[in-house]
Structures are given as structure tokens and as C-alpha cells.
Amino acid sequence: MVQGLSRKPGKFSKVPKTLLAVLVVLVACSFLGGYLVAQLFRAQSTNEDAPVDAKVENAEIGKRVPFPVTAKLDKIKLPANLKSGVVTWVSDQNRFENGNVVYRLDDQPVVIVKSDIPFYRDLESGVQGSDVQQFSRLLVSNGFLSEPGSKVDSRMIAAIKKWQKQLGASVTGTVGRGTLIATRTLPALVEIDSAVTVGSQLNGGEQTLYSFSDQPTLSLSTLPAQEKILTEAKELKVNVDNQQVPVVISDKKSTEDGASTVFTFTAANGEPFCHPNCAKVMSKPEMLWSLEAIVIPQTTGPAVPVGALMVDEKGKTLVQKVAGKELVTQEVKILAASEGLAIVSGLNPGDVVRLNPRPASGGTPETKP
């Protein structure tokens, strides 16, 4: 037998009359509240059909998408090493001036010199030629010779000895084969080959030095979504030494796997990106610069929500301007649009326009791209 609650008369066996009264009131209130809420929502749904207007105000629209681009100088081989010996010192610089020592073999300096032709022989008494002429200019710039010459005479031998003494070289008056390595441009970035280390043996013929191109190649690897931004941008600019340089796409190639596209760029005016300060701007052979794709040029003017725009059968862009209790159809021109806002001509700040207007002359409300 299942036992239930006791039915004996007691304190809680009957519901008090006061409690019944409270329950009746609560039930009545709940019905009344539900009725009021229903009426409120009905009013709101009715108000959704009421016209909505917007006040025209001045605004600024623009969209720029930044990209990190690689600026890279092409490596160029300099004349090979022509000396034999043990490397006893290596410079830790990457930028060299005319006449700087790049490394030492058996404690004798190997010097980089600005010259259009290579140095291929001993420069000793009586030797003459264009290589002597090129070297003599270094002696003049260092103050050891009054004017350049194309022959190693007594005057030049005296200058060579002073130069050798300054460098800590053996003072002989003869510049040995392999002491000078020519490059066309100085000052410049110069890379010393990683094989040239203190204690290593050089036997002549090794490639020990590299210079770099005058201007960098600018490249960027992109995904498909980024590719569209670059190709459809109104303008591209790269930040070079705190200056915005306009650039254009010069080439684009897909990677072997087809997952990305590599763009290369040139300056819009055809000059080097960093002209005339490339040697100063490119402190390393490879650097990251910032490129901006200007998708929407910066535009300022009267702005309206795009929901206020419509197009008629003739393709004209229109708005309905509120004039008191009347609506006046006004033609406008879209100057820029972004994120639901359009800068237009044909309206003034303070004008009021109708949102989601009815089609004009059979046209369908829409916005131009």
C-alpha cells in the first residue's frame, strides 16, 4: 500500500482565503500585462512602416590597405681575389668607402677601390695605363698626390709609400697584384663571402667580394583575395625614407603550386624608388618596406546613407529630399562610397533625405558600385 500525505485536519490542510485573493489578483495582472505587451509590439510593427529621414552632414571616406613588400638589391660579383695567403683580419662592415680595407692576407691589406676597370698586375715603377690612372685618383683623394697620372713615376712611388704606411702595409713603393679590388660604385654595400674567415687559406681565384645593384627590386607575394585589392586599387604607393613614392605593377607570376601570386613593382615615373639616395636608404641588401593600396581615395563632402540612393530608368542617381511636408527628387553624383556611406555632389550639409525611398519614374532603388 502506498502511503500518501496525511489528510488529518491541521494548519496546512486548507488554503487560506487571503492567499486565494492574492492568486486571483496575480492571474488578472498577468493577463493584463500580456495584453499590454501585445499592444506595444503591435504598435512597433506598425511604426516600422513610418518614413525614416537622415540629415546630410560632411564626412570623410577613404580606404587604404597596407602591405609589407620586400626591397631587395641584386648581388653582383666583384673581381676575384688574386692574392695567396692566410686571412688574418676581416672587416665587420657592410658599407665601404673608396680605399677601405676589406680583409688582410698575411697581415697585408686588400683594398676596395672605385674603378671602372679591374686591377690585374703589379703597379710598379715604369708601369703605365688606365689602371694606374684609376688608382692614382685614390691617392689624390687621400692627399698623397697632387694630381692623377697614368704612369708610376717617382712622384707616384713617393705617394704610394705614404699610402702604404697609413694602411699598415709593407712600405715598398709597389702595389702588389691582388692588393686592389675594383668596383664601379663607392660608397656602397659590399658583402664579404662567408668563406673569408680569420685563419682560412686563400690561393687566388676565389670569389671573395660582392657588390649590389643601384636600386632595389620591389616584390610582394599575395593570396588571391589580396591580389584583387592590388589589381583594382586606384593607386599604389610605397613608403621610401618617409616619402610616398607612386608605383605601378610591372609584372606578376603565379607560384609553382598556384597558391599565391608574386607581384613586382616599378616607380611610376620610371626612376629608382630611392633616387637619389639609394645608397643611404638601403642599409641592408634586403629590407621590408610598406606599400599602400589606395582602394578608395580620401574624399570629403556631403554624406548620405547608401539607403537613401536610387537609380532611375535613365541610370541617374537620385535621392528624395525632404522639403517641409513635400519630397523633392534630387539628382546627385556619387564621389565615393564605403561601408554604407556615400559622399555625393548635389546636396548640402543640413539637407534632409528620405531613407529607402520609393522608386522614381519606375526605377529600382539601388546604389552604384
Reported as a single tens digit per residue, the pLDDT across 123-162 is 999 999 999 999 999 999 999 999 999 999 999 999 999 9
Tell me if 197 is assigned to some domain. Answer: yes
- Mean pLDDT for 256-282 is 84
The pLDDT score that the predictor gives to residue 214 is: 83
Reported as a single tens digit per residue, the pLDDT across 191-227 is 999 999 999 999 999 999 999 988 899 999 998 889 9
The pLDDT score that the predictor gives to residue 359 is: 58
**Last residue of one domain, picked from the residues 297, 316, 342:** 297
Q: Residue 110 sits in a domain of what CATH number? A: 1.10.101.10
Helix, strand and coil content of the chain, in percent to the nearest 5, comes to 20, 40, 40
Are 87 and 195 contained in the same domain? Answer: yes
Number of domains in the chain: 3
Are 311 and 323 contained in the same domain? Answer: yes
Cα pseudo-dihedral 158, 134, 112, 177, rounded to 10: -70
User: Before 276, cis peptide (omega within 30)?
Assistant: yes
Burial 6-21 (b: 16+ CB within 10 A, else e): eeeeeeeeeeeeeeee
Amino acid at 228: K
pLDDT higher at 270 or 358: 270
Are 287 and 320 contained in the same domain? Answer: no
- Mean pLDDT for 269-277 is 79
Asked whether the CA dihedral 51, 56, 57, 59 is positive or negative, the reply is positive
281 Cβ neighbours under 8 A, 6+ residues apart: 240, 241, 274
Tell me if 37 is assigned to some domain. Answer: no
Reported as a single tens digit per residue, the pLDDT across 158-193 is 999 999 999 999 999 999 999 999 999 999 999 999
Say if strands 95-96 and 188-189 run parallel, antiparallel, or are unpaired: antiparallel
Tell me if 131 is assigned to some domain. Answer: yes
Domain of 344 in residue numbering reads as 53-58+301-354
Residue 46 has pLDDT above 70, yes or no: no
- Residue 240: exposed, middle, or buried by beta-carbon count in 10 A (0-12, 13-18, 19+)? buried
- H helix and E strand count, the chain: 5, 23
334 Cβ neighbours under 8 A, 6+ residues apart: 309, 317, 342, 343, 344, 367, 368
**Last residue of one domain, picked from the residues 189, 212, 235:** 212
Amino acid at 352: V
- Mean pLDDT for 79-98 is 96
Closest by alpha carbon to 254, among 264, 245, 262? 262
Closest by alpha carbon to 264, among 216, 215, 217, 223? 217
CA–CA distance, 160 with 145 (Å, rounded to integer): 9
**Last residue of one domain, picked from the residues 278, 297, 316:** 297
Q: How much of the chain, in percent, has pLDDT values that exceed 70?
A: 83
